[in-house]
A and B are shown apart, each in its own frame.
Chain A
Amino acid sequence: MLNGIPLEHFVIVSAVLFSAGLFSVLSRKNAIMILIGIELMINAGILNLVVFGAFDKQKNEGQVFALFAIVLAAAGVAVALAIILNVYRQFKTVEPNQVEEMKY
C-alpha cells in the first residue's frame, strides 16, 4: 500500500527533514530562515501523519489531521510573519539575536 516502499524510508526522510528544519531554526540569523525551518519541521510531522495514517483504513484520520496541520502551519506562518513585520518595525531588524529586550 505504500507502493512497496518500506515504512522506514518514510520515517528516515521525515527525520532528515525534521533535523534540517531544526538545524535551520537553531543556526539561522534571519527570522525568515527560522520560520522556514519551522515549516520544514511541521512538514516532517505532517509526512509522518500521512504515512502512519496509511495503516488506519477505516477513517483516514491521519490524512485529516495532516490537512488540519497544513492549515495550522499556514495560520502559524501568517501570525509569525506578522510578528516579524512588527519586530522589524520596532527594532529595524529581523535578527532574533539583536532583539534582547526580554532577557533577565
Chain B
Amino acid sequence: MQVESIKLIETQHITTVIGAALGALLLPLLSFLIIGFIKPRKSDWLSIFFSFVSFLLSVYCFINTWNSEIHHFTWQWLNTGVIKLNAGIKIDNLSSLMLVLVTLITTLVLIYSTEYMKGEKYYNRYFAHLSLFMFSMLGVVLADSLLLIYIFWELVGFSSYLLIGFWFDRDSAAAANKKAFIVNRIGDIAFFVGIMILFTQFRTLDLSALFGTAGKAGLIQQSVVENGMWKFVDVFGQAKTLDSWMLTAAGLCIFAGAVAKSAQFPLHVWLPDAMEGPTSVSSLIHAATMVAAGVYLTARVYPLFNPDALTVIASIGAFTAFMAATIALTQNDLKKVLAYSTISQLGFMIAALGIGAWQAALFHLVTHAFFKCLLFLGAGSVIHQLHHVQHKHHLDFDPQDMRLMGGLRKQMPVTYLVLLVASLSLAGLPLFSGFLSKDLILIGAWSGEKPGSTIVAVLLSVTSALTAFYIFRMIFKVFWAENRLQKTVENIDVSVHESGKSMTIPMVVLAIFSLFAAFSINPLHGTHSWIYEGLIVPLNSFSPKIQYMEFAESWVPIITVVLAVAMILVARFAYYKQKMTFLSKQSFLYKFSYNAWYFDKLYNSVIVKSVVLLANSIRWFDTNIVDGFVNGTASVVQSLSAIVDWIDRNIVDGFVNGIAALAGRLGNLIRGFQTGRVQQYMALGVFGLILIIVLSYIF
C-alpha cells in the first residue's frame, strides 16, 4: 500500500467518521453511568448492547479509514497564552484496527461473562466496571496527543484496579489490585517525565506534530543527532539543541510507562498476581487490551527511539519473553501458566519493536489478542465447571490447579477444541494466526545486523520452542490422561459438562480469528497479510528500517515449526503418556522457575523492605523529631504565656487595681470631711484661713 494514496483530513468539525468514533468511545461510558446511577435490572444486556453498537460504529470507522483516509479532529482544550493544549481524536490505520479489536473482544467477553459471572453478588457492578475499562482503553487508542493518552492510560490503570479487585472481600485480590496499581504507578511516573521532556522542548504533545502522519515527517523525525548533540525545531519554529542523551532519556521514560502496563521485566510482577480477578477480566485486560496498551504506546512513539533506546527495548523484550516462558514451564495454576505466557508474548512484541520489526509487533499484538483471550476464556470455562463440581459436592480443592484436572476433553469438547486451536496458534504452527505474526518477529530478529541482535534472536527462538512446550503441557494436563480429581474422591462423580452457549459462542468466534484465514490468504507467510501491509512503519530517522534477509525468511519458519512440533511431542510424551520426567521438584532449576525467578522475594526483601524501613524511619522522624519540635514549641509558648499571664495578673492588674484602690481610699478619706454640717465647714474655713495667715507670717 502506497503511503501517498492515503488522504489526511484535518478537521475542526465533527465529520461522520469522527462522530462514529466518538460514539464508539462514549457509549461504554454511558453504559457505565447508566448502570452506576440508574441501576437497571438488565445491566448485562444493556452493556452488551452498548458495546455491540460501539463495535458496529468501530467497523464503520474502520471501513471508511483503512488505507484510505486519516481523520484528525482537534479542538483547543486549554489555552494559557503560552501553553496551548489540544484535545482530539486521530483515526489512522492503527487506531481503527485497535478500535475494532478492542470493541469486538470486549463484546465477546461481555457475552461470555453473562454466564461466567452468573450469581455473583456484584453482578451489575462487574458490567459497569468492564464498560468503564472499555471506555478508557478506547480513549488510549483514539487520543491524538500524549497528554490525552496519559489521561486515559491512568483511567485504564484505575479501571483495571477495580476489575482485579472485583472480589475485594478476598485478601489476596485486594493485595493483587494494590500491587498492580502501585507497580503501574512506577511506570506512569516515568511516562509522565517523558511527556514533560517532550513538552518542555517541543511545546506540543500532538502525536501528528511530533511523530508525523501519512508520510509527513514530524518534528522528531526532522531532528538530527550530530556530534552527540540533538538538534531540533520546536512547534513555534525555534531551533534548539540538547545533549543527545536527552533523546534516549525521553524515549526510555515513555517506554518505562509501557514496561509497567505491558508487564515487562522488571515491572512484570503485577500481572501474575492480577489473576486474582475473574478469569473473564483476565482474558480482556491481561491478554487482549490493557497490556497491549504498552505495546501500542511504544509503537505510537516509535520515531522517538534512537538506537540506544531500541537496544534497551529489544533486550528487555527478549529477556522478558525468555524469563516468563521458563516460569510458565513449571506453574501448576492454570491461569498462572497463561499469565506468564502473556508476559512472554508481550516480550515478543516489545522485542520486535526494539529490533525494528514494527509491523510484525503490531500484527502479533492483534493475533495474540484473539488467541490469548481465547485461551483465558477456555481456561475460565474449565475453571467455571470445576467450580460447579466443587460447589455441588462441597469439595475442598483448588479449581485452577492443573494437577487435579485431566481427561476433560470428552466432557468439554468445544472448550477443548477452541483451546487446542488457541494453543496451536500460540505455539506457532502453520495455518494458525500466531504462526504468521510470530515468525515475522523471528525472521526480523534473525535479520538484525546490529551486534548483539543474535542474542535477541536466539532468546526469542528458544522462547518460541518453550512456548510450544508449556502450552501443550497445559493441554495434555487438563484434557488428556485420566481425571486426577476422581482419584482423590472415590465415591463422588466429579465429571463436568460443557459450558453453556453464551460461553461457547464467543470462544468459537475467537477461535475463528485464531486461524490464518482471518489475516492472510497465504497460510505460510505473513508479509502479505492485510494487517501487515496496512500498518505503515512510521519513519524513524535515527534507525534504519529492518530488511528481511532471504536466508532468515526461508529457514527460520521451518526450524521454528520443527522445534515447536518436537516440543509438542515431548510434552505429549511427558504429560499424556507420562513416561518422561525432567527435573526433580527439589532441583534448583525447578524451584527457580516455579518461584518465578524469585522476583517477588527479591522485590520484597530489597525494595518493599527498604521502603517499609524508610517509611518507618520517616514515621519515627515524624513522631519524634517533627512532633517533638512542634510539641516543644508548644510547651515553650505555653510556659511563656504562663509568665505573661502572671505578669498580667500581678503587675499590670496590680498597678491598675492599686490606682483604683488608692483613689477609693483617698475618696473614703476625703468623704469624711463632707459631713453636711455647715458650722463645721465654717470652722474649718476659719481655721484654715488662720493657718494660712500664720504660715505666711512665719515664712
Residues of A within 8 A of B (CB): 22, 25-27, 34, 96-97, 99-104
A44 to B671, CA, bound (A): 35
Instruction: Scan residues 661-680 of chain B and give those whose CB is less than 8 A from a CB of chain A.
Output: 671, 674-679
Residue in contact with A34 in the complex, picked from B674, B675, B676, B679, CB distance below 8 Å: B679
Write the nearest CB–CB distance from A75 to chain B, whole angstroms. 20
Extra contacts, 14 of them, besides A26-B679, A26-B682, A103-B674 (Cβ < 8 A), are: A25-B682, A26-B683, A26-B686, A27-B679, A34-B679, A96-B678, A96-B679, A97-B677, A99-B676, A99-B678, A100-B676, A100-B677, A101-B676, A102-B676
Known: A96-B678, A97-B677, A99-B676. A104 touches B683 (CB 8 A): no
Write the nearest CB–CB distance from B691 to chain A, whole angstroms. 15
B677 pairs with A96, CB closer than 8 A: yes
A22 to B683, CA, bound (A): 9
Q: For B683, what are the chain A residues with a Cβ–Cβ distance below 8 Å?
A: 26
A101 to B682, CA, bound (A): 17
Write the nearest CB–CB distance from A23 to chain B, whole angstroms. 10
Q: For B677, what are the chain A residues with a Cβ–Cβ distance below 8 Å?
A: 96-97, 100, 103
Known: A22-B686, A26-B686. A100 touches B675 (CB 8 A): yes
B682 pairs with A103, CB closer than 8 A: no
CB<8 Å pairs between A and B, sample of 14? A25-B679, A26-B679, A26-B686, A34-B679, A96-B677, A96-B678, A96-B679, A97-B677, A99-B676, A100-B677, A101-B676, A103-B674, A104-B671, A104-B674
Q: For A34, what are the chain B residues with a Cβ–Cβ distance below 8 Å?
A: 679
Write the nearest CB–CB distance from B682 to chain A, whole angstroms. 6
Write the nearest CB–CB distance from A27 to chain B, whole angstroms. 8
Write the nearest CB–CB distance from B687 to chain A, whole angstroms. 10
A101 to B671, CA, bound (A): 14
Interface string of B142-162 (1 = CB under 8 A from A): 000000000000000000000
Interface centre among A26, A27, A34 (most CB of B within 10 A): A26
A97 pairs with B674, CB closer than 8 A: no
Residue in contact with A103 in the complex, picked from B676, B679, B686, CB distance below 8 Å: B676
Q: For A103, what are the chain B residues with a Cβ–Cβ distance below 8 Å?
A: 674-677
A104 pairs with B676, CB closer than 8 A: yes
Write the nearest CB–CB distance from A19 to chain B, whole angstroms. 10
Write the nearest CB–CB distance from B339 to chain A, whole angstroms. 104
Write the nearest CB–CB distance from A83 to chain B, whole angstroms. 11
Q: For B674, what are the chain A residues with a Cβ–Cβ distance below 8 Å?
A: 103-104
A26 to B678, CA, bound (A): 9
Q: For B679, what are the chain A residues with a Cβ–Cβ distance below 8 Å?
A: 25-27, 34, 96-97
Q: For A102, what are the chain B residues with a Cβ–Cβ distance below 8 Å?
A: 676
Write the nearest CB–CB distance from B228 to chain A, whole angstroms. 105
A97 to B675, CA, bound (A): 9
Q: Which residue of A lies closest to B677 (CB)?
A: A97
Q: Which residue of B lies closest to A31 (CB)?
A: B678
A97 to B678, CA, bound (A): 8
Q: For B682, what are the chain A residues with a Cβ–Cβ distance below 8 Å?
A: 25-26
Q: Which residue of A lies closest to B671 (CB)?
A: A104
Write the nearest CB–CB distance from B679 to chain A, whole angstroms. 6
Interface string of B505-527 (1 = CB under 8 A from A): 00000000000000000000000
A22 to B679, CA, bound (A): 10
Q: For B678, what are the chain A residues with a Cβ–Cβ distance below 8 Å?
A: 96, 99
Q: For B676, what are the chain A residues with a Cβ–Cβ distance below 8 Å?
A: 99-104
A99 to B679, CA, bound (A): 11
A25 to B684, CA, bound (A): 13
Write the nearest CB–CB distance from B510 to chain A, whole angstroms. 113
Q: For A26, what are the chain B residues with a Cβ–Cβ distance below 8 Å?
A: 679, 682-683, 686
Q: For B675, what are the chain A residues with a Cβ–Cβ distance below 8 Å?
A: 100, 103
Q: For A104, what are the chain B residues with a Cβ–Cβ distance below 8 Å?
A: 671, 674, 676
Q: For A100, what are the chain B residues with a Cβ–Cβ distance below 8 Å?
A: 675-677
Interface centre among B674, B678, B683 (most CB of A within 10 A): B678
A99 to B675, CA, bound (A): 10
Q: Which residue of B lies closest to A34 (CB)?
A: B679
A99 to B678, CA, bound (A): 9
Q: Which residue of B lies closest to A28 (CB)?
A: B679
Q: For A101, what are the chain B residues with a Cβ–Cβ distance below 8 Å?
A: 676
Q: Which residue of A lies closest to B676 (CB)?
A: A103
Interface string of B550-581 (1 = CB under 8 A from A): 00000000000000000000000000000000
Q: Which residue of A lies closest to B672 (CB)?
A: A104
A26 to B689, CA, bound (A): 15
A27 to B671, CA, bound (A): 23
A30 to B671, CA, bound (A): 26
A89 to B628, CA, bound (A): 84
Q: Which residue of B lies closest to A27 (CB)?
A: B679
Q: For B671, what are the chain A residues with a Cβ–Cβ distance below 8 Å?
A: 104
Q: For A99, what are the chain B residues with a Cβ–Cβ distance below 8 Å?
A: 676, 678
Write the nearest CB–CB distance from A45 to chain B, whole angstroms. 15
A34 to B683, CA, bound (A): 13
Q: For B686, what are the chain A residues with a Cβ–Cβ distance below 8 Å?
A: 22, 26
A76 to B679, CA, bound (A): 18
Write the nearest CB–CB distance from A101 to chain B, whole angstroms. 7
A63 to B679, CA, bound (A): 31
Instruction: Scan residues 631-685 of chain B and give those whose CB is less than 8 A from a CB of chain A.
Output: 671, 674-679, 682-683
A102 to B675, CA, bound (A): 8
A9 to B277, CA, bound (A): 138
A85 to B683, CA, bound (A): 24
Write the nearest CB–CB distance from A39 to chain B, whole angstroms. 15
A26 to B684, CA, bound (A): 10
Interface string of B489-519 (1 = CB under 8 A from A): 0000000000000000000000000000000
Interface centre among A22, A27, A96 (most CB of B within 10 A): A96
A96 to B678, CA, bound (A): 7
A103 to B675, CA, bound (A): 5
A27 to B679, CA, bound (A): 8
Q: Which residue of B lies closest to A29 (CB)?
A: B679
Write the nearest CB–CB distance from A34 to chain B, whole angstroms. 7
Interface string of B98-126 (1 = CB under 8 A from A): 00000000000000000000000000000
A100 to B678, CA, bound (A): 9
Write the nearest CB–CB distance from A91 to chain B, whole angstroms. 12
A104 to B670, CA, bound (A): 9
A104 to B672, CA, bound (A): 7
